[in-house]
Structure 1
Amino acid sequence: MMKNNIFMSLYKDYAERIDDGTLPPGSKLPSENELAATYGASRETVRKGLNLLAQNGYINKVKGKGSFVLATGRLKFPISGLISYKELSERLGKPSRTLVYTTERVPAGDTIAKELQIEPEEPVWKVIRAREIDGERIILDIDYLLAEVVPHLTEDIAADSIYHYLEQELQLKISYAEKVISVEQATEQDYRCMDLGEDKHVVVVRGYVHLEDTTLFQYTESRHRLDKFQFVDFARRISREN
């Protein structure tokens, strides 16, 4: 197993155990040293996995005492954090597939250039994909990625996981995203590419994704069927001294 995948394996293992009730609320996770020995990883790698569990509301890390499972429902669609659809679908444990409609290199144009803060003539990758879960197309993802950062992209990569390709093949370090969520009227494209039935609106999550050096390299619109997703955030209050 590649070392930079170990923290995600730890995260998935414990998220699954918490989701299926194997680890009930209040359960204490093994210590960082024990987890490091189990996964053959450094404590830094273990902390990365535990931090992701904490960030997505699975555990509470108590300084000097350890990590404890929180009493929280299964996370449907996390707002906080950056997780690929492939990672999310594995967590949901439902039959799913990705349908790729478009993978093409095009000039950004005025609208996308404004979102990515580039010139209209600069090339971007335009990727349109529907996410099918339990036989229904319930997510439409429309992504634009800077060709300067991502020089090569194929339909096969888009059908699998773009983030896996960026991180494992191109060795890019994806750091953070700004997200804007709204409920909007469904478009003709939504009706063509999704199974909306009588729905007239969709939930739209717009994301502006940055690399570790703060480069804004991706603008995405993730359009969701209203009845299929619960959007969940997990908030912590930071103690402040008077």
Structure 2
Amino acid sequence: MRENIYLQIYAEYSNRIQSGQLAPGTKLPSESELAEAYKTSRETVRKALNLLFREGYINKIKGRGSFVLDRTRMDFPVTGLISFQEMSGTLGVPSRTLVEETVLEPAGSLLASQLHIAGDTPVWKVIRAREIEEERIILDKDYFRADIVPFLSKEIAEGSIYEYLETGLGLKISYAKKLISVEPSTEEDGRLLDLKKYEHIVVVRNYVYLENTVLFQYTESRHRLDKFQFVDFARRVRS
């Protein structure tokens, strides 16, 4: 049926992307070209492209067109509380951590509101780029309350901070609240990550609590959007 032609366009292009016929980075025909090829309107084509975008098959760049995304993404658990070192151990590919900054400084008003502390409270700020297969694709910005984590160093940050907190300091890290959003990339993202052509980034904000329910860490984990898919297991609960 002609009214479902946008689904036909979506199905044909999603199949070509999944089968590898269209390689990552390939530019799709323009809306006008697709409308002519399928004998339909640009509005119908736009509907199909938006569906491909929402399903993670393409990236739409204003003024440049639509490009095929790399579907070989790494799974990142939504509900789990896992360190990068623990995650990278399961990938089976080369990875490393590049420490940009480890400094003790006052929280300031914005960070204080995230950690529910006074603005002059000292916090440890740790900025790290995560490199996987020689591409910097994650930027982790961690903030720890210094009254709970009295000392951090570049050497500790290059390894696993969680291992240091749990085995070295005896802290019992229990749970986290996570907020996930897609946002425009920043100058800092462009400087510290290999963003390539991507103008947006997936941001995972973590509020991490100890076993005694004290919020002690706030993290912004910024992921290049073509390299990760966030996964979870859900079970329907019947009343």
The alignment's TM-score, normalised by the length of structure 1, stands at 0.68
Is 1:184 aligned with 2:180?
A: no
- Deviation at 1:222? 0.2
CA distance in 1, matches of 2:117, 2:180: 23
Cα offsets for 1:162-220 (capped at 9, x unmatched):
00000111010000000000000000000000000111000000000000000000000
Q: Is the 8 A contact 1:108 1:124 kept in 2?
A: yes
Aligned pair count reads 167
CA RMSD of aligned residues (A): 1.2
The amino acid that maps onto 2:136 is R
Matches of residues 78-89 of structure 1 in structure 2 within 5 Å?
Answer: 78-89=77-88
Q: Is the 8 A contact 2:129 2:136 kept in 1?
A: yes
Q: Which residue of 1 aligns with 2:25?
A: none
CA distance in 1, matches of 2:172, 2:81: 12
Specify the structure having the higher radius of gyration (Cα).
2
The amino acid that maps onto 2:195 is L
Q: Is the 8 A contact 1:75 1:232 kept in 2?
A: no
CA distance in 2, matches of 1:225, 1:164: 26
Q: Which residue of 2 aligns with 1:16?
A: none
Q: Which residue of 2 aligns with 1:230?
A: 229
CA distance in 1, matches of 2:87, 2:222: 15
Q: Which residue of 2 aligns with 1:211?
A: 210
Q: Which runs of 4+ in 1 moved over 3 A?
A: none
Q: Which residue of 2 aligns with 1:69?
A: none
- Deviation at 1:119? 0.2
The amino acid that maps onto 1:208 is Y
Q: Which residue of 2 aligns with 1:97?
A: 96
List alignment gaps of at least 5 residues for structure 2: 1-72
**Residue aligned with 1:87, SS:** helix
Matches of residues 23-42 of structure 1 in structure 2 within 5 Å?
Answer: none
- Deviation at 1:93? 1.1
CA distance in 2, matches of 1:97, 1:83: 16
List alignment gaps of at least 5 residues for structure 1: 1-73
The amino acid that maps onto 1:138 is I
Is 1:139 aligned with 2:138?
A: yes
CA distance in 2, matches of 1:133, 1:81: 20
Q: Is the 8 A contact 2:124 2:144 kept in 1?
A: yes
The amino acid that maps onto 2:118 is E
Q: Is the 8 A contact 1:138 1:196 kept in 2?
A: yes
**Residue aligned with 1:129, SS:** strand
- Deviation at 1:235? 1.2
CA distance in 2, matches of 1:173, 1:236: 28
The amino acid that maps onto 2:199 is K
CA distance in 2, matches of 1:194, 1:213: 36
Matches of residues 8-19 of structure 1 in structure 2 within 5 Å?
Answer: none
CA distance in 1, matches of 2:167, 2:121: 25
Is 1:152 aligned with 2:151?
A: yes
- Deviation at 1:94? 0.9
